[in-house]
Structure 1
Amino acid sequence: MENYNKNLYGIDWSLYLKMFPGKMRSPTIDRKMEVTMLQRLLDQGIINKEPVTLDPFWRNIVEEEKWGGDWNTYKKHFSGGLWKKIESLNFISTEYRALMMYVSSRTVSETFEKELEKDGCVCQFDEHDRIISIVSKNKLVDVGGKKLGNIAPNKNRKNKKKNEKDDEEDENKEEDKKEDEEDETKEEDWDQSNSVITIERFYDKLKSLIQTHCKRHRLKHSFVLELDQKSRDKEMSNFEMVKHLETISRSVVESEDEDMDVAKAKKFDILMIINSMASGRGYEKTEERMLMALNLECEREESISLRQLEHMIIEQLEE
């Protein structure tokens, strides 16, 4: 694209061409097009102030602005390496670089985290080191703040990550404790003929639903992991089953978006399966939290590796 905006938001974007003077192999994307792609991300952050789902984001831009080629080419180019350059673009202010990382939900390096601290840019991160809120020193950027999973502030985050994660998990448990107790009182009065189920039966049911989904969508995946004998025979109540489902649901949401060429499924589809097993059992607070996760995933369109999902389920049930 020859007519990219050379001074968008007061930034000298021509410096990008000096940083990366080499020619591109792609017949569709050159260095100027890379600049345009980065500018569109920054537009999203400044104007809409929220992360995007990359598939519809690139598809809409390519179609609306009539870029050459297929939108998948641009998505793959960004996910394949362009995003990794953002942190090093020193001709762009720290808060704007952070904003682009926030919009695209990319993992932040420890080096860039220190740069953010040095420049007084206060950020919060999820447990995958993705920025979920930014308040710049000059207040020019003030976005995010919605909590998903475990959040760690940028100060000393790497050195204290394990302890912070434990502390945050304790806080989450305290926050949910009253709601769980409210749900537990309902268990005593919840009259069902099959109020106790073995973990093996539960696993077989969940596995069967996921495998049916794989067959329907022609996903080449078969479950290979099995429960240990102790876990197979263990019984659990309806409430315990729903809590297992909630934990698995949370793990799915917090997992990295899978962009490798492996057997994978949309997180939304997996959460639909999990929610279908939990719904209608009388534990309203727990179901509400699971529904919130489902609604979030409805907007993100992220995927999860089916092999990773299999490990998640086994680890949860064998605890």
Structure 2
Amino acid sequence: MAYANPDMRFEFEGSRTGSGECKYGAGGKGLTHRVSLMSSGATPNAELQKPPKARPSPTPTMVNIVIIGGHGNVALHLARLAAGAGHTVTSVIRDPSQNEDILVTGAKPRVLSLEDSPVSDFTNLFTETKADVVYFTAGAGGKGGEDRTKAVDYQGALKTFDAIDGVSTKKPRLVLVSGADVGNEDRFPEHYTEEDKQIALRVRKAIATWYKWKYEAEKVLVKRTSFEWIILRPGGLTDNPGTGKADIGRTHITSTISREDVAVALLHLATVPSKAAGLAIDMVGGDKLIGPALDAFVEKGVTDWLGQA
């Protein structure tokens, strides 16, 4: 997904792996951002294959983490950060050939298929690992057409929700990765500028299938009450190095956000207070430190979700 200034040329060029280029500039001359929809089967870049660096945990609490869609680039960043902070991380992948990419992050790979494995296999995994937090970062990434997008982004998400429901001990918190502006349909948040509205209209049209099935998954999740859940909704994604800064909540959608910064936010959400449960949080590039900005938004107790369940 990608955003660009509405008075400039907008292009989204997709590929079979779900990646593409968002080009904008007067007359087609200007900036090009490499962006992509999240795909759990994407090939990680060299930066993601570096061994995890030792990093202090944001809190003294160590948690057990399971990442669904563990081979996506956001997921690989998250695994490196979490393992480096001392958390125990299990990354779920569908292809055993991806094992090494997971191991170098410091996480443990587990092969399961969102499309083929039964709900009970995921419930058993969450129980066995004593998961405190489950991240759903999986996505078809535009690969395989609408049927596969529905199977992974929607049905795979519901399978994860049901698997958490099936845990008989303390149920883990779910953090679902979605996208900014998902679920707004033909409406716009009150804080959107005219520029935001024009961008939203273009992107909603460009990746309508992705928007549709992410929204359908969100509509199911917001009705769940048996476990804590949070939805993180980043804007257009880039592979730029993380800055540790962003705009959080009630955002405009005129700037992109690096995958590494999204991973920083995801890790922070592992240990935020329970009052964050039930919130959808928009995130784009900005100038506020990610942790404090998330804490401030959670403290307000508002949500960015405008959908109709």
Q: Which has the higher helix share?
A: 1
* TM bucket, shorter chain: under 0.3
| Normalised TM-score (structure 1) | 0.26
Q: Using structure 2 for the length normalisation, give the TM-score.
A: 0.27
Higher Rg of the two aligned structures? 1
